Structure 1
Amino acid sequence: MTNTASLPLMLKSLRLSEFRLHWESLAEKALHEQWRPEHYLSELCHMELSSRTDKRQLRYLKESNLPSGKHVGGFDFNVIEGLTKARLHELADNHEWVKHATNLLLFGASGVGKTHLASALGYSLIEAGTRVKFYAATALVQHLQEAKQHLKLQDALNKLDKYQVLIIDDIGYVKKTEQETSVLFELIAHRYERFSLIITSNQSFEDWDALFTDTTMTVAAIDRLVHHSHIIQLEGESYRRKAAIKQEE
């Protein structure tokens, strides 16, 4: 009879944690139910893969910095125009646009749900195994500016490549300075046709001269963003304003 005393140690060395935890109990079940060997092995592999998927999703969620509670099911489509539930579910469930490095640009006034929608898509992507990172635009620009000051901007841009989707929230609040403009443009150019951006903005393209220091850079940035993109214009009353009025009633 084969000596299995060293099996837990070997499974630990191979980093097969679910095998190590369940091989004995599952072996008893397999014997009792007269499983074929491949059935037993398949069940163990399924448990291992399922556990790894769950752990990976938890890790992706933790690193994503997504706002909590912003899921697809929590969005009220009855008060917002410009996006249907079917369109949102198509973007959330069909990730071909991410595979093709397509961008998603969400425009609309403050409070219409742009951040909620961007975050909801982020959660859906993570569930499908895609790495996502959420940044307030001002915080991201500050991070890249600091890297540039230390002559490490390219390193910072390369590190962001591990995220297939980068969410940049409220790009309209970036200040129009040469330093902020240059790093924002370099980020857009760096990810062009390589990885996806989800960008929310309360300013339409015609107002983006307020973001960049010259028209040439504005046009070049917009051109790269829209070349492969889905553009959604949201219209409606601010959720926050409606909530404030309701509280006063």
Structure 2
Amino acid sequence: MANVAALPIMLKSLRLACIGTHWQTLAKKATAERWVPEHYLAELCAMELATREDKRLQRYHKESGLPPGKTLASFDFSALEGVSLQQINALIQNPHWVEQGENLLLFGASGIGKTHLASSIGYGLVEAGIRVKFSSATHMVQELQQAKQNLGLAEALVKLDKFTVLILDDLGYVKKTAQETSVLFELIAHRYERGTLIITSNQAFKDWDHLFDDSIMTVAAIDRLVHHATIMNCEGESYRRKASLKRMASTQ
């Protein structure tokens, strides 16, 4: 028969930290309310699972790199055309498209909220237990380029596979060099039908020859991105411009 005095040690060995913290307090309640053993055990397990889920979501939020504050609750849809709250909610609440490795492409002029929209979706997916990684496209390409120079590109791409969703912000600002073109295409090809890409860009497909110095590569990249994709064209006035005009007006 197991010694009850050894229970804390056994729980620690089993990595049941929450149960180790609360079993005694809950045992007093169970005794007072005359719970059956199964009820007591179920309550302990439920507490352990809830704590683990909270910690998992905290870890997912921390590793996501999502911009602080850019959530769905803080986005103003009244200033935007082409995308609605209902569409974004549908993408968050029904993430089957993520499970199938489909992509989301957000196009529109600078300053109208594409980054905020992408981040909002990212936050919603994290809350649904989906691992997300946000990065500017330029930063991601630079990291992959460095990995390639160190002969570790394949390993770096595989490491990104742990993220079900990869958000690449401002793709249009990636410099057109042979090195950056190469790793960007390899990333797109690697994720094809394997993991979801959410991409924001202020350049339409017809201008993507500025991203890739080879027309064949441009077509191949676009083909892989759009094969399983939702495409949203965002229209509206730049909120940064409106904010600037408002500040100028207030100082006059």
TM-score greater than 0.5 by the shorter chain: yes
**Counterpart residue number, 2:225:** 225
Report the 3-state secondary structure (helix = DSSP H, G, I; strand = E; otherwise coil) of the residue aligned with 1:83: coil
How many residue pairs get aligned? The number is 249
**Counterpart residue number, 1:194:** 194
% identical equivalent positions = 64
**Counterpart residue number, 2:126:** 126
Normalising by structure 1, we get a TM-score of: 0.98
**Counterpart residue number, 1:58:** 58
Q: Give the 4+ runs in structure 1 shifted more than 6 A.
A: none
Q: Cα deviation per residue 1:79-119 (whole Å; 9 max; x = unaligned)? A: 10011111110011111011000000000000110000111
Whole-Å separation in 2 of the counterparts to 1:119 and 1:87: 15
TM superposition shift of 1:2: 6.5
TM superposition shift of 1:63: 1.0
Normalising by structure 2, we get a TM-score of: 0.97
Whole-Å separation in 2 of the counterparts to 1:31 and 1:201: 61
Whole-Å separation in 1 of the counterparts to 2:106 and 2:152: 30
Report the 3-state secondary structure (helix = DSSP H, G, I; strand = E; otherwise coil) of the residue aligned with 2:22: helix
Whole-Å separation in 1 of the counterparts to 2:232 and 2:171: 15
**Counterpart residue number, 2:182:** 182
TM superposition shift of 1:3: 3.4
Whole-Å separation in 2 of the counterparts to 1:10 and 1:117: 47
Aligned partner letter, 1:32:
A
Report the 3-state secondary structure (helix = DSSP H, G, I; strand = E; otherwise coil) of the residue aligned with 1:6: helix
Listed as ranges, the gaps of 5+ residues in structure 1 are none
Whole-Å separation in 2 of the counterparts to 1:182 and 1:133: 21
Listed as ranges, the gaps of 5+ residues in structure 2 are none
Q: Give yes or no for the alignment of 1:96 onto 2:96.
A: yes
Q: Give yes or no for the alignment of 1:140 onto 2:102.
A: no
Q: Cα deviation per residue 1:144-187 (whole Å; 9 max; x = unaligned)? A: 11111111110110100000000000000001111100100000
Q: Give yes or no for the alignment of 1:155 onto 2:152.
A: no
Report the 3-state secondary structure (helix = DSSP H, G, I; strand = E; otherwise coil) of the residue aligned with 2:172: helix
**Counterpart residue number, 1:19:** 19
Whole-Å separation in 1 of the counterparts to 2:12 and 2:124: 32
Whole-Å separation in 1 of the counterparts to 2:73 and 2:163: 24
Q: Cα deviation per residue 1:109-153 (whole Å; 9 max; x = unaligned)? A: 001100001111111111111111111111111001111111111
RMSD value, Cα? 1.0
Q: How does 1:67-86 map to 2 (within 5 A)?
A: 67-86=67-86
Whole-Å separation in 2 of the counterparts to 1:103 and 1:29: 50
**Counterpart residue number, 1:6:** 6
Report the 3-state secondary structure (helix = DSSP H, G, I; strand = E; otherwise coil) of the residue aligned with 1:5: helix
Whole-Å separation in 2 of the counterparts to 1:41 and 1:83: 48
Aligned partner letter, 2:84:
T
Report the 3-state secondary structure (helix = DSSP H, G, I; strand = E; otherwise coil) of the residue aligned with 1:237: coil
Aligned partner letter, 2:46:
H
Q: Give yes or no for the alignment of 1:112 onto 2:109.
A: no
